[in-house]
Amino acid sequence: MTLRDRPIGVFDSGVGGLTVLRELRRQLPGEHTIYLGDEARMPYGPRPADEVVGFTREAVRWFTGQECKLVILACNTATAVALEIVRESALVPVIGVVRPGAAAALSASATRAVGVLATEGTVRSASYGRALRDLDPLVRVREVACPALVPLVEAGEMRSAAALTAVRGYVGPLIGDASDAVDTLLLGCTHYPLLREVIERVAGPGVRVVDSATTTALAVREVLASHRLLREGAGDSRHRVFATGPRERFRSVARTIFGEDLPEVEEAILG
C-alpha cells in the first residue's frame, strides 16, 4: 500500500468525533478512513490530565498499527491536554480540533466576543482561550464547562427535556443584554454538534453557533495537499469504525449521524 493510499485515523472518546468524520468524508470523498471511539473509558472531560495523555498515546499507537497516514484527535479534551505531548513521539502527523475551531469562531464573530462550551478538562486547560488570543489578542473569551452534555448525547437524548434544561443552564449566562454577552458560541466538544438544534434554539437568532468539523477537514486537506498525499478516486474509498465499549449503543447513536450509511462497528482493544 502506498503512503497516499493509507487511511486517515479519527479518534474520539465516544461518538462525538463522528461529526468530524462526516465532514471529512464530505470534503475528501476519495480518502479511506478509520474511526476509533473509546467508549469503554468515556467521558474524558472529568479525567486527570495524565490519564487522558495515556489514553491518547494508546490510540495513536493503535492507528499507527493500522498504517494510517495521518491521525485527527477529534476529541477536544484529548487535543487540549495531549496533542503537543503525543506529537513528540508519534510516527505520523497528528492534527487536533482546537485551533481550527478557534479560527471558525473568530470568522463568525462580529463583536469579537466568543463563548466556548466545552468539557471540564478542556476548560481547565484554557486551550481555547490561548488559541483564540493567538489568532486575535483582543478577542473576549468566556469558557463554560458543560459536564452534563456528553452523557446526554451518548444516551441518545439530544432532543429530550433534560437536554433543553442543561443547555439553558450553560448558555443562558453567556447571552442576553449584558455588556459581556457573546455573539458567537463555539462548540468545544465534538459531541455538542449533535445538540446544535437545542443550542441554537436557546441562544436565539442573534448568536452564531460554530464547531470545528468543517475547519478541521480543511486543515487535513491542506496538510495532505502540501505533502502530495491526497488520494484521488472518489467512490472507491473504504471506511471502518471501531469502538472499545458497547457497540450496540454506539451504533444506535451513530446511526442518527450517518443514517444507514455506517460501516459495521468493530471491536478495538487499547492498552
Segment 111-149, tens digit of pLDDT? 999 999 999 999 999 999 999 999 999 999 999 999 999
Q: Return the active site residues.
A: 75, 189
State yes or no: pLDDT of 234 exceeds 70: no
Q: C-alpha cell of 25?
A: 468524508
pLDDT category of residue 180 using cuts at 50, 70 and 90? confident
pLDDT (tens digit per residue) in 51-105: 999 999 999 999 999 999 999 999 999 999 999 999 999 999 999 999 999 999 9
Cβ atoms < 10 Å from Cβ of 206? 8
Cβ atoms < 10 Å from Cβ of 240? 16
**CA pair distance 144, 119, nearest whole angstrom:** 8
Provide the pLDDT for residue 249. 77
Q: Which one, of 180, 177, 239, lies nearest residue 32 by Cα?
A: 239
Kindly state whether residues 196 and 237 are assigned to the same domain.
no
Kindly state whether residues 225 and 257 are assigned to the same domain.
yes
How many domains does the chain contain in total? 2
Kindly state whether residues 115 and 244 are assigned to the same domain.
no
pLDDT category of residue 162 using cuts at 50, 70 and 90? very high
State yes or no: pLDDT of 203 exceeds 90: yes
Kindly state whether residues 69 and 22 are assigned to the same domain.
yes
State yes or no: pLDDT of 235 exceeds 70: no
202: phi > 0 → left, psi -120 to 50 → alpha, else beta; which?
alpha
Kindly state whether residues 115 and 191 are assigned to the same domain.
yes
Mean pLDDT of the chain: 91
Kindly state whether residues 191 and 222 are assigned to the same domain.
no
Kindly state whether residues 240 and 168 are assigned to the same domain.
no
Q: How many residues does the chain have?
A: 271
Provide the pLDDT for residue 194. 87
| Rounded average pLDDT over 19-32 | 92
Tell me, what CATH number does 142's domain have? 3.40.50.1860
Kindly state whether residues 103 and 202 are assigned to the same domain.
yes
> What is the extent of the structural domain holding 109?
98-212
Provide the pLDDT for residue 259. 66
pTM above 0.85? yes
**CA pair distance 243, 251, nearest whole angstrom:** 9
**CA pair distance 152, 134, nearest whole angstrom:** 32
Q: Which one, of 69, 73, 70, 68, lies nearest residue 84 by Cα?
A: 73
Kindly state whether residues 90 and 224 are assigned to the same domain.
yes
The DSSP result for 99-110, as a single string, is HHHHHHHHHH-S
